[in-house]
Amino acid sequence: MEISTATSLPLMEDFCTLQGEGRYTGHASYFLRLGGCDVGCVWCDVKDSWDASKHPLVSTEDMVGAVVSSGVKIAVITGGEPLMHDLELLTAQLQEQGIRTHIETSGAHPLSGSWDWICLSPKKFKAPLKEVLDAADELKVVVYNKSDFKWAEEHARMVSDDCLLYLQPEWSMASAMTPLIVDYIKENPRWILSLQTHKYISIP
**Cα→Cα distances 202→17, 85, 129, 142, Å:** 11, 30, 34, 20
Rounded to whole angstroms, how far apart are CA atoms 28 and 17?
A: 6
Q: What pLDDT does residue 1 have?
A: 39
Q: What pLDDT does residue 46 have?
A: 67
Contact 189, 163 (CB under 8 A): no
Supply the pTM of this predicted model.
0.93
Q: What pLDDT does residue 53 have?
A: 79
Cα 104 off chain centre by: 2
Rounded to whole angstroms, how far apart are CA atoms 100 and 182?
A: 31
Contact 159, 136 (CB under 8 A): yes
Q: Which residues contact 68 (CB under 8 A, 6 or more apart)?
A: 97, 99
> What is the full per-residue pLDDT of the chain (204 aa) written as tens digits?
344 458 999 999 999 999 999 999 999 999 999 998 876 666 566 666 667 778 999 999 999 999 999 999 999 999 889 999 999 999 999 999 999 999 999 999 999 999 999 999 998 888 999 999 999 999 999 999 999 999 999 999 999 999 999 999 999 999 999 999 999 999 999 999 999 999 999 999
Rounded to whole angstroms, how far apart are CA atoms 30 and 79?
A: 13
Q: What fold, for 8-200? A: TIM Barrel (3.20.20)
Sequence ranges of the domains in the chain: 8-200
Rounded to whole angstroms, how far apart are CA atoms 169 and 22?
A: 12
Q: What pLDDT does residue 179 have?
A: 98
- Helix H or strand E encompassing 150: helix 148-156
Strands in the chain per DSSP E: 8-18, 28-34, 57-59, 74-78, 100-105, 117-120, 138-143, 164-169, 191-193
